[in-house]
Amino acid sequence: MVARGCQPDVHTYTTIINGLCKIGETAAAAGLFKKMGEAGCQPDVVTYSTIIDSLCKDRRVNEALDIFSYMKAKGISPNIFTYNSLIQGLCNFSQWREASAMLNEMMSLNIMPNVVTFSLLINIFCKEGNVFEAQGYLANAFRLFRAMQSTYLKPNMVMYNILIDATCKSGNLKEARKLFSELFVQGLQPNVQIYTTIINGLCKEGLLDEALEAFRNMEEDGCPPNEFSYNVIIRGFLQHKDESRAVQLIGEMREKGFSYAHDDSSVGSWMMGVQATYIDDSCLCCSSIKQGES
């Protein structure tokens, strides 16, 4: 193209840069981005955002921030995609406060968060809450979640799962149940991951009957449990010494072609160390297991 005297324009450069980024050739894309400027072709917001996003995904956040600063100095206004990429990049390095500052800068420019932004930030607050719960990060996540619900944007399954997981881990099952019920009100059907998350939380609190009820509801709601779901509830029953129901569930699991998690000490150790005479063959097809065998 250039050899024939036809100079590429910003759209041509951006298309090639985008293609390089998509196949993971960030270094080549950055090199072309540099040549673009040297050739007198000024990148637009799409070009800048594309290279910033690729650098962030490649964990080269400092370089992305440098280009972000250069972009603004050139009078190119960032868009929501630019900010979301940087927020995600900062999150990958646990730079929560810097990510929050980026949100504040974005909103000060009247660029309103979208579903992606809210998902990123809710995830941030929930992760930070695990370590600094006293600082109210989980509460911040809920405030952000409720604020989003008051707008035209509606939370998705990813957000609900993040919050349900965080509330279960913090021992706030009341809020977890409330969120789980909200899914149906919002017209969302819980997936296997969300069901398994709530079942895990109930098991940890010793609420085995409620956990089993939720487990049985999965099938009725058209969301059959998978191998991980079985391992989670079986582990819960074993940890609370309810071995009879654990045996029944193990039998079901084996009938469906699932296996126990070999890296789960609760289920794996019990399965490998149990006496064959203890197991009812009608419940569990593993009567050949002998104590001490591996």
Number of domains in the chain: 2
| pLDDT at res. 126 | 66
Average pLDDT (112-137) is 66
In a domain, residue 216? The reply is: yes
Question: What is the chain's alpha carbon radius of gyration, rounded to the nearest angstrom?
Answer: 26
Q: Residue 79: which pLDDT band, with cuts at 50, 70 and 90?
A: very high
Higher pLDDT, 143 or 106: 106
In a domain, residue 66? The reply is: yes
In a domain, residue 171? The reply is: no
State yes or no: pLDDT of 4 exceeds 90. Answer: no
In a domain, residue 75? The reply is: yes
| pLDDT at res. 284 | 34
Q: Contact 7/39 with Cβ under 8 angstroms? A: yes
Average pLDDT (159-186) is 87
How many Å apart are CA 144 and CA 153, to the nearest integer?
12
Task: Return the percentage of the chain with pLDDT > 90, whole number.
Answer: 44
Q: Contact 81/56 with Cβ under 8 angstroms? A: no
pTM flag (> 0.75): no
In a domain, residue 110? The reply is: no
Which tens digits make up the pLDDT trace of 230-249?
999 999 999 898 989 998 99
Q: What is the CATH number of the domain that holds 61?
A: 1.25.40.10
How many Å apart are CA 58 and CA 219, to the nearest integer?
40
How many Å apart are CA 60 and CA 137, to the nearest integer?
27
Of 92, 121, 145, the position where a domain reaches its end is 92
| pLDDT at res. 136 | 60
Domain of residue 239, residue span: 191-294
Give the C-alpha distances (Å, rounded to integers) separating 268 from 56, 203, 204, 260, 286. 40, 18, 18, 6, 13
Average pLDDT (241-267) is 80
